């Protein structure tokens, strides 16, 4: 091919001399980001199901979106979740300085606020269940719970991960491995905010649109 003509075979470099080392941290975070995108496809499938099962027929003469969603409670959850993300952001700013105490404080804050979000969500669901609005009631409720709880399950997993990272930061300090995990966890934790934007907008706000 024509491009090969530019390389002179007499002087060409045949073997790498620079001792090229690939960037471990960037490779790990990129792979984790790909995982998050594949997870986003699961969320998309759940959103597609939620949309399809949002038809009147799928409510099976039971409660529909307007009866199920409590946008104000969800907003308090939103405040807690975004605050948890901000707290993690604080940990990242601390990490930039190499400040172990700030990182631990940020992680701790994210843990508490994330748990708070789950508490608000759990209370909301407990109230729904009290009124017989359980996933087994109808196709619509199945889709609603599955979508919202899929996000919630991620937060539970995130809390576990935060706890593990707090232990690692405290024990091992800032090794390359700990740092790439903190960066991955950042992507994971921030991504839950991303997903929540859509859950809040298209489940809670849209659901409440038609309540009179």
Subset of residues 166 to 185 that bind another protein, contact rule: CB under 8 A: 168, 172, 174-177, 179-181, 183
Member of 73, 86, 104, 112 binding another protein (CB under 8 A): 86
Distance CA 38, CA 33 (A): 9
By C-beta, is 24 or 127 nearer to another protein? 24
Q: Is the sign of the CA dihedral 131, 135, 137, 142 positive or negative?
A: positive
For the CB of residue 178, give the shortest distance to another protein in the complex, in Å.
8
Distance CA 83, CA 42 (A): 25
User: Under the criterion CB under 8 A, does residue 64 sit at the interface with another protein?
Assistant: yes
User: Under the criterion CB under 8 A, does residue 139 sit at the interface with another protein?
Assistant: yes
Cβ within 8 Å of residue 191, ≥6 positions away: 36, 39, 40
Member of 73, 80, 90, 151 binding another protein (CB under 8 A): 90
From residue 121, alpha-carbon distances to 74, 112, 115, 125, 155 in Å are 7, 14, 10, 6, 11
Member of 112, 115, 125, 198 binding another protein (CB under 8 A): 198
Stretch that binds another protein, among 28-36, 109-117, 122-130 (CB under 8 A): 28-36
- Of the candidates 188, 104, 108, 178, which has an alpha carbon nearest to the alpha carbon of residue 153? 188
Member of 105, 112, 115, 187 binding another protein (CB under 8 A): 187
User: Under the criterion CB under 8 A, does residue 160 sit at the interface with another protein?
Assistant: yes
User: Under the criterion CB under 8 A, does residue 137 sit at the interface with another protein?
Assistant: yes
Cβ within 8 Å of residue 42, ≥6 positions away: 150
Stretch that binds another protein, among 21-29, 109-117, 121-129 (CB under 8 A): 21-29
């Amino acid at each position: 091919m024509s491009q090969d003509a530019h390389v002179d075979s007499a002087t060409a470099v045949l073997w790498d001399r620079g001792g090229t080392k690939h960037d471990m941290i960037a490779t790990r975070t990129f792979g984790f980001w790909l995982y998050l995108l594949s997870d986003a496809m699961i969320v998309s499938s759940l959103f597609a199901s939620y949309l399809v099962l949002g038809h009147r027929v799928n409510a099976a003469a039971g409660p529909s979106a307007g009866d199920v969603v409590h946008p104000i409670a969800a907003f308090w959850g939103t405040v807690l979740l975004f605050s948890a993300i901000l707290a993690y952001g604080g940990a990242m700013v601390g990490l930039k300085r190499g400040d172990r105490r700030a990182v631990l404080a940020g992680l701790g804050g994210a843990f508490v606020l994330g748990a708070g979000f789950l508490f608000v969500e759990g209370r909301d669901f407990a109230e729904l269940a009290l009124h017989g609005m359980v996933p087994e009631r109808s196709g619509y409720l199945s889709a609603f719970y599955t979508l919202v709880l899929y996000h919630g399950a991620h937060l539970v997993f995130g809390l576990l991960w935060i706890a593990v990272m707090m232990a690692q930061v405290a024990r091992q300090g800032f090794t390359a491995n700990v740092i790439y995990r903190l960066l991955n966890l950042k992507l994971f934790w921030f991504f839950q905010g991303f997903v929540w934007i859509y859950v809040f907008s298209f489940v809670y706000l849209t659901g409440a649109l038609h309540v009179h």
